[in-house]
Amino acid sequence: MKSIKNEAAAHCPNHCEPFDVEYWSLVSADQDPDLKSAIMGGELNLVQCPECGTFFHHDGDLIYFDAPAELLVFVFSEKDRPREAQLRERMQKDYELIKNTLLKPLHMDYPPICVFGLDALKTLLQHEEVESYESEAVAAAAAAMGMQVARLKPSYARANHFPLYVPAPAPSKTANDYAVAASKVLKSGLKSLLLRNFEDRMSQEGALPPQVL
């Protein structure tokens, strides 16, 4: 899915005359990584008032999509937070439409996320980045011990606060086998709250094996 720009009237916080701008209404992060960088740098949809010169973010609704990360985020204006229940209902309808049309070939099976404001989106992506670094550390530690590494389904890992990569047991693949493998890596000295949580969950009675790709 390609990133999309729209046109709309921007309203300066200093109450100057409205002016027309182009803004990104859909960001496809895996297709346009520069736009993700612009979000992280606070530059996406940043406009300047031609009357007073003030820079501000145009607050039009935005959809952020990263297919490999299984991440679909609906970003609404901060001023619309009082309408959260109504907007979440609209989001669900838009999600079903997108899932069954534009993204139908992807067989999307994970729910959307709702945030208010570009700062909230930036915070979410920063959190994703931190967990990605931690996941890579888990993978490196497991590989250094000669263990196989499994990649979890991204949306599953996110929802359960697991690392994206986990040590994979061989040959058995029960939940407890994964817990034992995680325990070995943790005992090597790796500090990972994500892997610790994974170990705890996999060791619970009746736990199902993780969803791996």
What are the pLDDT digits (tens) for 76-130? 999 999 999 999 999 999 999 989 988 888 889 999 999 999 999 999 999 999 9
Residue 105 three-state SS? helix
| Structure confidence at residue 106 (pLDDT) | 86
Distances (CA, A) of 73 to 17, 163, 174: 31, 20, 33
What integer pLDDT is reported at residue 1 of this predicted model? 81
**Mean pLDDT, residues 172-187 taken together:** 95
**What's the confidence (pLDDT) of residue 87?**
96
How sure is the predictor about 4, in pLDDT bands with cuts at 50, 70 and 90?
very high
Residue 15 binned pLDDT confidence (cut-offs 50, 70, 90): very high
pLDDT at 59 over 90: no
Angle at CA 32, nearest 5°, toward 30 and 37? 95
* Residues ≥6 apart with Cβ < 8 Å to 98: 63, 72
- Asked if 25 and 61 touch (Cβ cutoff 8 Å), the reply is yes
Contacts of 106 (CB under 8 A, 6+ apart): 67
Which range is least confidently modeled, 84-93, 168-177, 180-189?
168-177
Phi, psi of 123, rounded to the nearest 5 degrees: -60, -40
Question: What pLDDT is stored for residue 125 in this prediction?
Answer: 98
Residue identified by tokens 């952020």 is 64
Per-residue pLDDT, 105: 87
pLDDT of residue 134: 98
* pTM (predicted TM-score): 0.91
Please state, for a pLDDT cut of 90, what percent of the chain lies above it: 91
What letter would DSSP give residue 83? G
